[in-house]
A and B are shown apart, each in its own frame.
Chain A
Amino acid sequence: MTTETTSKKFNIDTVEHAEQTPEQPLPWAELGLKENEYDRVVEILGRRPTAAELAMYSVMWSEHCSYKSSKVHLRQFGDKVTEEMKEHLLVGIGENAGVVDIGDGWAVTFKVESHNHPSFVEPYQGAATGVGGIVRDIISMGARPVAVMDPLRFGAIDHPDTPRLVHGIVSGIGGYGNSLGLPNIGGEVVFDSVYQGNPLVNALAVGVLRHEDIRLANASGVGNKVVLFGARTGGDGIGGASVLASESFDDAKPSKRPAVQVGDPFAEKVLIECCLELFKNSIVEGIQDLGAAGISCATSELASNGDGGMHVELTNVLLRDPSLTPGEILMSESQERMMAVVTPENVAAFEAIMDKWNVEYSWLGEVTDTGRLIIEWDGEKIVDVDPRTVAHDGPVYERPYSRPVWLDGVQADSFSAEAPTDLRAAVLELMASPNMCSKDWITNQYDRYVQGNTALAMPDDAGVVRVDEETGLGIALSTDANGRYSYLNPYDGARLALAEAYRNVATSGAKPMAVTDCLNFGSPEDPEVMWQFAESVRGLADACQELGVPVTGGNVSLYNQTGGVAIHPTPVVGVLGVFDDVARRTPSGWREDGQAIYLLGTTRNELDGSEWANLRGHLGGQPPALDLDAEKTLAAILVNSSRDGMIDAAHDLSEGGLAAALSEAALRFGVGARIGIDELCERDGIDPFTALFSESQARAIVSVPRSEEVRFNDMCTARNFPRIRIGVVDAENDALDVQGHFTLPLAELKEAHEATLPKHFG
Chain B
Amino acid sequence: MTIETPLIGHSAAEVVDESLSGVRVGVVTFPGTLDDRDALRAVRIAGGTGVQLWHGDHDLKDVDAVIIPGGFSYGDYLRAGAISRFAPLMEQITAAASGGSLPVLGICNGFQVLTEAHLLPGSMVKNNHLHFLCKDQRLLVENSSTAWTSSYGEGSEIVVPLKNQDGQFVADERTLDELEGEGRVVFRYVGGNPNGSRRDIAGITNEHGNVVGLMPHPEHAVEPGFGPDSSAFGEVEVRGGVDGLGIFTSVLQKLVNK
Neighbour of A450 across the interface among B7, B34, B225, B238, CB < 8 A: B34
Q: Does B220 contact A (CB under 8 A)?
A: yes
Chain B residues lying within 8 Å of A280, measured Cβ to Cβ, are 6
A742 CB within 8 Å of chain B = no
Q: Interface readout for B226-240 with A: 1 if CB under 8 Å, 0 if not?
A: 100100000000110
Given the known inter-chain contacts A208-B7, A270-B31, A358-B31, please indicate yes or no for A447 contacting B134, CB distance below 8 A.
yes
Q: Chain A 144-184 against B: per-residue CB contact (8 Å), 1 yes, 0 no? A: 10100000000000000000000000010011001111000
A582 within 8 A of B: yes
CB distance from B33 to the nearest CB of A (A): 8
Q: Is A276 within 8 A of B77, CB to CB?
A: no
Q: Which of B1, B32, B165 has the most CB of A within 10 A?
A: B32
Interface of B, helix, strand, loop or mixed by DSSP = loop
Q: Does B85 contact A (CB under 8 A)?
A: no
Chain B residue at minimal CB-CB distance from A648:
B238
Interface bin, chain A: 35 or more
- Mark the stretch among A44-52, A237-245, A469-477, A541-549 that contacts chain B: A469-477
B132 lies within 8 A of chain A by Cβ: yes
Q: Mark B115-148, 1 if CB is under 8 A from A, else 0.
A: 0000000000000000111110000000000000
Are B38 and A669 neighbours in the complex by a CB distance under 8 Å?
A: no
B157 contacts chain A at the CB level, 8 A cutoff: no
- Which of B17-25, B67-75, B201-209 is the contact stretch? B67-75
Asked whether A420 is an interface residue with its Cβ less than 8 Å from the other chain, the reply is no
With known contacts A444-B133, A469-B8, A469-B9, A269–B223 Cβ distance under 8 A: no
Residues of chain B with a CB closer than 8 A to A273's CB: 3, 5, 31
* Pick from B9, B220, B238: contact of A470, CB under 8 Å: B9
Q: Which of A352, A445, A454 contacts B1 (CB 8 A)?
A: A352
B124 to A: closest C-beta gap in Å: 16
Interface check A350, CB cutoff 8 A: no
Report the separation of the CA atoms of residues A448 and B163 in the bound assembly, to the nearest whole angstrom.
Answer: 9
Interchain CB contact under 8 A, B9 and A276: no
Q: Mark B24-64, 1 if CB is under 8 A from A, else 0.
A: 00000001101101100100000000000000100000000
A265 within 8 A of B: yes
Interface residue? A264 (CB, 8 A): yes
By beta carbon, the residue of chain B nearest A167 is: B131
> In the complex the two chains form, is A181's CB within 8 Å of B35's CB?
yes
Residue B161 interfacial (CB < 8 Å): yes
Task: Determine if A445 and B225 form an interchain contact, defined as CB atoms under 8 angstroms apart.
Answer: no
- Cross-interface CB contact of A171 among B77, B131, B225, B226, cutoff 8 Å: B131
Closest CB in chain A relative to B236 CB, distance in Å: 10
Residues of the A chain whose Cβ atoms lie less than 8 Å from the Cβ of B132: 171, 174-175, 178, 445-447
What CA separation (Å) do A591 and B220 show in the bound complex? Answer: 23
Chain B residues, CB < 8 A from A269: 31-32, 34, 72, 75
Q: Can you report 24 A-B residue pairs in the complex whose CB atoms are below 8 A from each other?
A: A174-B132, A178-B72, A178-B165, A179-B75, A269-B72, A352-B1, A443-B134, A444-B135, A445-B131, A447-B134, A449-B163, A450-B70, A450-B163, A450-B220, A452-B37, A455-B225, A456-B239, A466-B226, A468-B9, A469-B8, A470-B11, A471-B12, A582-B225, A583-B225
Task: Give the A-binding residues of B (Cβ under 8 A).
Answer: 1, 3, 5-13, 31-32, 34-35, 37-38, 41, 56, 70-72, 74-77, 131-135, 161, 163, 165, 217, 219-220, 223, 225-226, 229, 238-239
Further pairs besides A444-B133, A444-B134: 9, Cβ < 8 Å: A144-B5, A171-B132, A208-B7, A266-B74, A352-B1, A443-B134, A456-B239, A467-B7, A582-B225
